[in-house]
Amino acid sequence: MTLRLALEARTPKLNVDEEILPLRIPGHTIGETEGVALNKAGHLFVYTRTGWAGSSRGGNAARLFEFDDKLAYVQEWLPDSYGASFAHGVRVDAEQNVWVIDEGSNTVVKVDPTGLVKMVLGRKPESVDWDEKFVERGEKDTDPHPEGATGTFNRPTDVAWGPDGGIYVADGYNNSRVVKISKDGVWQKSFGSYGSGDGQMKVVHSIATGDGHVYVADLGNSRIQVFDYDLKFQKYITGIGQSR
């Protein structure tokens, strides 16, 4: 407790105005919400883990809702979607595409402003994969932080974009890396492995771009790692929390 109080005393305070939004959906109660985003029209997108299958990893336990600038319910996006399993985040890019980051399905899904799926990055773990690996072949997962493979994520958390439309994915809870993908979906490179040293990360939890840099929240190490747009490491930003 003493350590925590000392940390809070030296941590800069942010002035935050709290407002509870009266969001209502006919026939549904919004529960655990993991992602919110606004488009240029002021419409609010809410990605929640409480779908009809309940708060769980699997099934369709994630739903994406749109509200207008007056907070009136508009519609549900991606009902019964392949990638809607265990919500983690939602973003809107400069072209007003809506991007859904799903930790449970291991996918990042791009949806155009009309609601049409334009790109699916990653691959959802299918039931047959589990059955073949663990039942038929008797394998076991012995490494909780494996090296990520090209084309797949392992509990991704966030997405951001470069000035040329390049895609940067925070990947994530099990993988410990950042992935760079071209605007048209070609995987280009990745950076990071599990740990606390140089070139390593623990829980890549969020990502943002700006001023020529990519900013990566290295949650478990309580630091932000800064890269250029080619994922060349620039510096650490430290002293922002308590390491796990």
Confidence (pLDDT) at 52: 62
Confidence (pLDDT) at 51: 64
6 φ, ψ (degrees, to nearest 5): -65, -40
Whether this prediction's pTM lies above 0.75 is answered by yes
| Ordered mean pLDDT values, 10 residues apiece, the chain (244 residues) | 76 83 90 93 94 56 94 94 90 98 95 97 81 80 82 96 97 95 97 96 97 96 97 93 60
Confidence (pLDDT) at 56: 45
Please, which residues bridge with residue 108 across strands? 101, 121
* Domains detected in the chain: 30-128 (2.120.10.30), 141-244 (2.120.10.30)
Confidence (pLDDT) at 223: 96
Confidence (pLDDT) at 25: 93
Number of Cβ within a 10 Å radius of residue 20: 5
208 φ, ψ (degrees, to nearest 5): -150, 155
